[in-house]
Amino acid sequence: MPPKIVEETANLISTMEIRGAGKIGRAAAQTLKDFAIGYRDADHIKFLKELNTAKETLLNTRPTAVSLANALNAVMSGVKGNSVDEIRNGVVNAADKFIVQSKKAVEKIAKMAAAKIKDGDSIMTHCNSTVVVKGIINAHEQDKRIHVFATETRPWQQGFITARALADAGVDVTLIVDSAARTFMTETDLVLVGADTIISNGTVINKIGTSQIALIAHENNVPVFVCAESYKFSKTARTDDQVTIEERDTSEIVEPSKLKGVKLRNPVFDSTPPKYIKAIITEYGIISPSEVREVITKI
Ligand code: RI2
């Protein structure tokens, strides 16, 4: 049985009360740290076993965003020594390091994304990405006159979170339904999206519908920029079929009794091929999808 603190965070991530690829990684790292701090037994072997159970419990919450696995592995890489104290210190230091670096990466990427936005630009974004929202707000704070199309993002409607955050910051934002993306692409200068997982061949896995938007952008010669911290790069997946696409409960789409006899599917991520992506903005700089492999060797 995983400890209560771990179960609680795992539950918050599964139910998407904590969501967003970066945030789930940071929350998981923080939880392993809190578990280690609160551990009271003196048996270090038992501690290691329980730490691994905690890690697995957190990992099994959502399968697609590699940021979760990378965050947990970063924390577990701090495990060393033959006493509870040594192991605890290692976990705490590694978790702190991951969280600080992750937040720094978000700030750095947001600045670079803001620099891509010109005065007068109209931006389209999909779902809710912390780093994209920050980048747009940065550009707005630089007195650039900008407008944003935020897609609703069915079925979870994370676009509402994006639209609310931008409007609260004073950004001119219009919420559109996902199927209106093509209609408004003709008025769009650039697309900015986040990422859950990036694989070595340059494919970007992000919220369902991202690939349609990227395809429409391509048709209209609108550049697509992906904002992604390096812990969203997968060190293991070589092709997109090696990444599990999460399928969530279909009751998120419609109350099942309303459509008796109808099958429902609810995959929540899709793959965007590298040919539809202009560049990926990382804390290491702005790279083309073909350079992903090189960045993976650095992380
Ligand atoms: P940041 C989200 O997933 C979206 O797909 C978003 O683009 C991505 O995480 C990255 O978010 P979900 O948790 O890390 O809403 O940029 O399914 O915040």
pLDDT score, position 1 = 65
Yes or no: say if 131 and 165 are a contact pair by the CB < 8 Å rule.
no
Write out pLDDT tens, residues 236-260.
999 999 999 999 999 999 998 999 9
| Active-site annotation holder among 196, 227, 240, 270 | 196
Angle formed at CA 219 by CA 213 and CA 220, multiple of 5 degrees: 90
pLDDT in the model for residue 299: 80
Phi, psi of 205 (to 5 degrees): -105, 120
**Phi–psi pair at 173, nearest 5 degrees:** -130, 140
- Is residue 196 part of the annotated active site? The answer reads yes
Query: pLDDT digit string (tens) for 263-274?
Result: 999 999 999 999
- The model's confidence at residue 122, banded by pLDDT at 50, 70 and 90, is very high
130 alpha carbon – ligand 1 mean position (Å): 8
* Burial category of 106 from C-beta neighbours within 10 Å (exposed 0-12, middle 13-18, buried 19 and up): buried
Encode pLDDT of 85-108 as tens digits. 999 999 999 999 999 999 999 999
* DSSP per residue, 77-110: TT--SSSHHHHHHHHHHHHHHHHHHHHHHHHHHH
Active site residue 227: no
Per-residue pLDDT averaged across 67-91, rounded?
97
| Residue range 220-237, pLDDT digits in tens | 999 999 999 999 999 999
Distance of alpha carbon 139 from alpha carbon 132, whole angstroms: 11
Q: How far is the CA of 195 from the centre of ligand 1 (A)?
A: 6
User: Can you give the pTM of this predicted structure?
Assistant: 0.96
Asked if residue 2 has pLDDT above 80, the reply is no
Distance 254 CA to ligand 1 centre (A): 22
Q: Tell me: pLDDT of 207 over 70.
A: yes
